[in-house]
Amino acid sequence: VLLDHHLGLEQRTRSWAGDLVPCNGTCMIWRRAAIEAAGGWRGDMLAEDMDLSYRAWLKGWRGTYLGDVTAPGELPSVMKHWLHQQRRWKRGYHQVAWRYLPRILASRASLRAKWRVFLHLGFALSSPLSMIITWSALAVWLLAPERVSPILLAWFAMVVVGYTAATTAKAESFDCQGP
């Protein structure tokens, strides 16, 4: 279901909207000139394919998602292996986010492009912020329980902002009108 959503909805919508179509290792075909312009293939991240996508995008290359081209895929059949795969993917995603999000937000890219990249990579910020707020709330609760309210309000605000961003991203995905 996750891959169907990612490939059938997210990637298709990004391509249709002219946004970055990040490579996720699933049936991607690259032009050699794009790889060379982006500085070649690197193996210093777990998500080296997404890393290459962002480097190529920053050099002006654009991808196209072809939804009518299919290929059989395989998923782990053991839950432990699937969880390991998901942790690896999340870690690679976070590596890419921490490397490129500040660079792109400070770049000369359009506000629209920056917003779209933030919607894609900004999710990586939620884990550290959530941990900071949770541990802060616990410390305040133990040391000064009467002061927990502002921490809980910050936590609630973060949850609301997170769900709003996710809902906005979904709404933008579903709001597209194809040809």
30-49: pLDDT as tens digits: 899 999 999 999 989 888 99
The model's confidence at residue 166, banded by pLDDT at 50, 70 and 90, is: low
The 3-state secondary structure of 89-129 reads HHHHHHHHHHHHHHHHHCCCCCHHHHHHHHHHHHHHHHHHH
**pLDDT, position 174:** 44
Q: Is the pLDDT of residue 168 over 90?
A: no
Q: Is the pLDDT of residue 177 over 70?
A: no
Instruction: Give me the percent of the chain exceeding a pLDDT of 90.
Output: 16
Rounded to the nearest 5 degrees, what angle is found at the Cα of 166, between the Cα atoms of 163 and 169? Answer: 150
- Of 16 and 158, which is predicted with more confidence? 16
Q: Is the pLDDT of residue 179 over 60?
A: no
| Crossing angle for the helix pair 48-58 and 79-105, to the nearest 10 degrees | 20
Q: What is the DSSP string of 42-78?
A: --SSTTHHHHHHHHHHHTT------TT--------SS
**How far is 179 from 44, CA to CA, in rounded Å?**
40
DSSP state of 40: -
Quick one: average pLDDT of 125-142?
Answer: 75
Collect contacts of 87-90 with beta carbons under 8 A, ≥24 apart.
88/46, 89/46, 89/47
**pLDDT, position 176:** 42
Q: Is the pLDDT of residue 1 over 50?
A: yes
Quick one: average pLDDT of 114-138?
Answer: 78
Q: Is the pLDDT of residue 169 over 60?
A: no
pTM: 0.69
Say how many C-beta atoms besides its own lie within 10 A of residue 121's C-beta: 24
**How far is 106 from 100, CA to CA, in rounded Å?**
10
Structural contact between residues 48 and 74, judged by C-beta atoms closer than 8 angstroms: no
- Of 165 and 14, which is predicted with more confidence? 14
